[in-house]
Chain A
Amino acid sequence: MHKDPVAVAVVERVKGAVAADSHGQTVVHIPREAWREAVQFLKEEQQFTQCSDLTAVDQLLRPDRPLPAGVERERFEVVANLLSHPRNRRIRFICQVPDGGEVESLFELFSGTELPEREVYDLLGVRFSGHPDLTRLLMPDDWEGHPLRKDDAPARVPVQFKEAQAPR
């Protein structure tokens, strides 16, 4: 039994959710199909008022990373840090997403995830279904690849300054 009542409630409500603890912070691993439902439960029944942060991690180089039992490792982890103002507590939701996989957008619940979801799509290539405008955000529109992926090498694109001599 987890010591955080919110985590306990989420695990009870969402099938397949696993609660854990990371340096004193509550983390709940949410199955991909239940991602939106779990956040909706927090918003509507647990007084969570804000999605503070939404990001993702490419775990390509850590296939053996430690995860609580019952959570299947996938390439990407989508991470949402949620905050309840009335209860003054935070919780972190993590969802495993395979390469090329999709996860449901939280836009309808917290419209402030509009830019962060686009950022995750742009930099890591994780798609959010139901996002109204899932286009590139930070990189140029015609950019190929997703730079925060671990197999996207930095300096892959050579920089050619105007009027500089071409490399010999």
Chain B
Amino acid sequence: MTTTQSGGLSPRDLVLGPEAWPESDETMIINLGPQHPSTHGVLRVVLELEGETVLRAKPVIGYLHTGMEKTGEQLTYVQGPTNVTRMDYAAPLFNELVYSMAVERLLDLELPPRATWIRMLMCELNRVASHLLFLATNGMDLGAISMMLYGWRERELVLAFFEKVTGLRMNHNYIRPGGVAADLPPGWEDDVGEICEVVPKGVAEYDEILTENPIWLERTVGIGLITTEQALALGATGPILRSTGMPWDLRKAQPYLAYDQVDFDVIYTENGDTFDRYRIRLYEIAESLKIVRQCLERMPSGDYRIQDRKVTPPPRARIDESMEALIHHFKIFTEGFKVPAGEVYTAVENPRGELGCYLVSDGSGRPYRMHIRGASFYNLQTLSTMVQGGLVADGIAIISSIDPIMGDVDR
């Protein structure tokens, strides 16, 4: 394997076009995807093979590009979350969170504690849902079809709760600059309590089905190795970085929301293989539920959004009795609010790693530039390093263990 001075990719890994096609017929270049069921959407990987062995691999992306960063420049700050929430569609609340945090930082807003804790509760539940989705698809990619059904079964509970709170199962537009869209519905404690009870039973089941399963171990242990140095150079974060023995989690290292007030552990392992990336996500579900339980016990009362007339529309009831409230409501939802000129970068730990938002404001009601640093986008770069020298079939396991969400990669 060739490496550069920084570890990770070498220039040779990147050129797989016709000019690099082998002249001899000992190796061949083939396409995997973009319409391959194991590529999690529309990922295309160009592989150079010698028999069954992968010599080089290069991800080719852009099939799901919808110009969301450009769209973001044309929407007001109030409309912004509806756009970003569609990027990482398996963890939409994190997108809304990172965008809202950037806007709030530019506006210098301090959120009421209940808004912060609701955000934390919802995000951790979203992390659970996202990891369950990973376990389901990871199982299916490796032939454990029943995992697909099990993972979906538990995830459904979380999504049903999301629907109750936000009105939608995905793409919620729930976290908005200034707080959240609505307070938690009555009886939310029971639903969250049920999730906290049922999901761990499911996780124990998966643990039993997979973690000690000889076939599973055969397919995952020692496959797709990556070192800390390579992961860092390639910009990898989240479970991929933690699987290499680096306990880096933004929730602990650079706490946002109220993560410095709750008790949880950062899961990390030493081997950097596919099995470890699976294990980390499996055990992170329990850690997230630990935070969810603390949110359940310690949820502060008070406002679920900031009472700052500049960014907050009036309560619904006021609109019926006050003309001014109606005008105010209209103004916020048509023109939006102005954000002082400046630029800011905010980052949160989403289920796949560091999700960042670089927001530039020119003082108007729309972002001048809105850039999202997708965790999947950077993580995908580890693919070439991980599959080199392995088998094609292992490539499927490795793509799955990166857990790329193509909406986040292509934006």
* Interface residue total, chain B, C-beta cutoff 8 A: 51
Contact B343 A22, beta carbon cutoff 8 Å? yes
Query: Which range holds the interface residue count of chain A?
Result: 35 or more
Instruction: Verify A139–B8 contact, CB threshold 8 A.
Output: no
Are A133 and B65 interface neighbours, CB within 8 A? Answer: no
Which of A25, A88, A111, A154 is within 8 Å of B74, CB to CB?
A: A154
- The proximity string for A residues 72-104 relative to B, scoring 1 for CB distances below 8 Å and 0 otherwise, is 000000010100010010101000000000000
Are B232 and A49 in contact, CB atoms less than 8 angstroms apart?
yes
**CB of B366, distance to nearest CB on chain A (Å):** 12
B167 at the interface (CB under 8 A from A): no
What's the minimum C-beta distance from A160 to chain B, rounded to whole angstroms? 18
Q: Does B90 contact A (CB under 8 A)?
A: no
Instruction: Report if A115 contacts B (CB, 8 A).
Output: yes
List the one stretch of A11-19, A28-36, A61-69 in contact with chain B. A61-69
Residue A38 at the B interface, CB < 8 A? no
Q: Which residue of B lies closest to A81 (CB)?
A: B345
Among residues of A, the one whose C-beta sits closest to the C-beta of B6 is: A111
Neighbour of B362 across the interface among A27, A65, A113, A116, CB < 8 A: A65
Interface pair B65/A52, CB less than 8 Å apart: no
A50-B232 in contact (CB<8A)? yes
A111 and B8 contact, CB distance less than 8 A:
yes
Check if B8 sits within 8 Å of A112, measured CB to CB: yes
Contact among B6, B11, B237, B354 for A132, CB-based, below 8 A: B11
CB distance from B302 to the nearest CB of A (A): 26
Please state if A139 and B342 are interface contacts (CB–CB under 8 Å): no
CA A120 to CA B164, docked complex, whole Å: 40
Closest Cβ–Cβ distance, residue B369 to chain A (whole Å): 5
Instruction: For A50, give the chain B residue with the smallest CB separation.
Output: B232
The residue that B61 contacts in the complex, of A22, A50, A138, with Cβ under 8 A, is: A138
Bound-complex Cα distance A33 to B239 (A): 36
List A contacts of B7 (CB < 8 A).
111
How many angstroms between the C-alpha atoms of A114 and B67 in the bound complex?
20
Residue A51, interface by CB 8 Å: yes
**A111–B253 alpha-carbon span in the complex (Å):** 24
Please give the distance in Å from A74's CB to the nearest CB on chain B: 15
**Most central of A23, A81, A109, A139 by chain B CB within 10 Å:** A23
Is A114 touching B381 in the complex (CB atoms < 8 A)? yes
CB distance from A131 to the nearest CB of B (A): 9
Interface presence of A151 (CB below 8 A) = no
Given known contacts A23-B106, A55-B358, A65-B362, is B235 in contact with A110 (CB within 8 Å)?
A: yes
Task: Give Cα A132–Cα B381 distance, bound, in whole angstroms.
Answer: 15
**B410 at the A/B interface (Cβ < 8 Å)?**
yes
Give the contact stretch, choosing among B149-157, B282-290, B370-378: B370-378
Residues of A within 8 A of B360 (CB): 57
B368 and A79 contact, CB distance less than 8 A: no
**Contact residue among B61, B70, B234, B377 (Cβ-Cβ distance under 8 Å from A148):** B70
Quick check: is B233 within 8 A (CB to CB) of the other chain? yes
The smallest C-beta distance from B208 to any residue of chain A, in angstroms, reads 35
Name the B residues within 8 Å of A140 (CB-CB). Answer: 62
Judged by a CB distance under 8 angstroms, whether A71 is at the interface is no
**Is B398 interfacial (CB-CB < 8 Å)?**
no
Report chain A residues within 8 Å CB of B232: 49-50, 85
Q: Cβ of B67 and Cβ of A147 under 8 Å apart?
A: yes
Q: How far is the CB of A109 from chain B (nearest CB, A)?
A: 6
CA distance A79 to B360 in the complex (A): 11
**Chain B contacts to A: CB under 8 angstroms:** 4-11, 14-15, 61-62, 65, 67, 69-70, 74, 105-106, 108, 232-237, 246, 248, 253-254, 341-345, 347, 354, 356, 358, 360, 362, 368-369, 371, 373, 377-378, 380-381, 410-411
What 4 pairs between A and B have smallest CB-CB spacing?
A: A112-B235, A132-B11, A111-B8, A111-B9
Contacts A133-B14, A139-B62 supplied; 7 other A-B pairs, CB < 8 Å = A22-B342, A23-B106, A49-B232, A107-B11, A112-B381, A132-B11, A154-B70
Query: Would you give 24 A-B contacts (Cβ < 8 Å), ordered by A?
Result: A23-B106, A27-B343, A50-B235, A52-B356, A55-B358, A57-B360, A57-B368, A61-B362, A62-B362, A65-B362, A66-B341, A92-B345, A108-B5, A111-B4, A111-B7, A111-B8, A112-B9, A112-B233, A114-B381, A115-B381, A133-B11, A133-B15, A137-B61, A140-B62
